[in-house]
Chains A and B, each alone.
Chain A
């Protein structure tokens, strides 16, 4: 109670120089990776390239979408704890225009990813029924809509938030709250259908009504993990002194823990219902991922994405202790990449088998160098762009009316 009298801290600005050679290394390495992937992939491994690129793309896409979700949620529920970390989420979410640009190569390989684009709807029963939705024209319209929506929403909140740094006008907070109520609804629709179109449609015969929620759970989880990582790195470089406290660790740890459980809950619900009803076209997805050595990756996903982090950050001291929370966040960011790989990679094997006249069987766990190149390339380029954008404005919304409530947070 007595701390409430304290005055707000001075605005802080990130300087790229404090990160040393990292931004240049990220950008250089990222461009190099993606350039090799493009040259090699398009020349010799077109189909592998398309899947690897999609995997790397979805990894970053889901993290950016999750960051936008936390911004939307902050405004929609008029939260106070998240004021100090909101600018980080805003800056991650504002990478969407670059993501749209990085999606362009995939536009030239869509039939290499989505087998239904190569089929005649009259010859394929499942596709015939789905063709009002699954047709190339409508797909392109939808993809355009997703990128427009995410770019618009991320830019809107960042612009208004930054404007408040200048003017200190509390009406901007009200305006953002009003916008968030409508945009959060569009967010739910966008991420659900983006999940359907980009990942579920890798096999047009398979469907799961929980798919959208599954993708969302991974997004919210991985973006919170990234935010935890960022706050630790920035605090390590001397930023956020007296602004971010152990209480912020605790609350972000609680959300990380909650979404670890939520991801498992959704993932298991999806699996259990499909297992129990035992309908061939539904079980196909899991059958492909439970056959041969893919089984080990599936089990690794269960243990690594749920059981391990669950036990690691279950207790209160673990959430408040910096090192354990930081380790859990890094680990979950890695597991999110495994999750994306687990979704995309078996589809490629199934596609190849179907194209060769088989039943869409998978051969077994295998990582292609292009998978690694694309993931590293995407992460490198976007990390460098993030650091560049972070430098442009204050590190936290310095004149937000709720700033002091956020700094003096108590759990």
Chain B
């Protein structure tokens, strides 16, 4: 057997007794100025965003990008299929199939609006969902926190805070002491694989 490789340090983690304790501890971690840290709880805790000082989510940017893509795509599709005049001809050259349906002109704003609308909505939804997954780095099949046996209770009745080693303020001795000072129990080293 070869000797076990040296494990890199993920950070220090501590357990808290209740959701309220976790909430107040999070406020203290935030006020201390840590940036790279996380809380883990069995259920969402109301107001935790503020307690952690997370600020505004950037998901809406992905939504906007999705919306803009959807609207442009709809416009392009309508141009490709129907319009036979003006700017569209200049852009699209011969790629047009002007088909008269129900006596309507090849391009009208009224029947185009549902297409604009639906494609915008669809791609906004895609942008939001996939943007959310990307920002949350989901799916993540394994997380260093699972290397800590105590962490199994996070899906049952355990409330945890983990401060990562790559935080600028991280210091092995001080961070351990800090987690104990804000009411954390069982403060442990958590290692990466």
A interface, CB within 8 angstroms of B: 1-2, 268, 271-272, 275-276, 278, 316, 410
Contact = CB atoms under 8 A, between A and B. Distances in A.
What 3 A-B pairs are tightest by C-beta distance, nearest first?
Answer: A275-B110, A272-B110, A1-B23
Interface of B: 20, 23-24, 46-47, 50, 56, 60, 102-104, 110-111, 113-114
A272 B103 CA distance: 15
A1 B111 contact: no
Contacts of B111: 272, 275-276
Contacts of A276: 102, 104, 110-111
Contacts, number: 24
A173 B20 CA distance: 30
A276 B113 CA distance: 12
24 contacts: A1-B20, A1-B23, A1-B46, A1-B47, A2-B24, A268-B113, A271-B110, A272-B110, A272-B111, A272-B113, A272-B114, A275-B110, A275-B111, A276-B102, A276-B104, A276-B110, A276-B111, A278-B102, A278-B103, A316-B56, A316-B60, A410-B46, A410-B47, A410-B50
A409 to B, nearest CB: 11
A272 B50 CA distance: 45
Contacts of B46: 1, 410
Nearest to A315: B60
Contacts of B113: 268, 272
Given A272-B113, A276-B111, 11 more contacts: A1-B47, A268-B113, A272-B110, A272-B114, A275-B111, A276-B104, A276-B110, A278-B102, A316-B60, A410-B46, A410-B50
Task: Choose among A1, A272, A410 the residue with the greatest number of B CB atoms under 10 Å from its CB.
Answer: A1
A278 B110 CA distance: 12
Nearest to B51: A1
A145 B20 CA distance: 53
Contacts of A278: 102-103
A379 B51 CA distance: 46
A275 B50 CA distance: 50
Contacts of B56: 316
Contacts of A410: 46-47, 50
B172 to A, nearest CB: 31
A228 to B, nearest CB: 23
B26 to A, nearest CB: 11
Contacts of B24: 2
A312 B191 CA distance: 50
Nearest to A265: B117
A12 B46 CA distance: 29
A282 to B, nearest CB: 14
A272 B46 CA distance: 43
Contacts of B50: 410
A175 B164 CA distance: 53
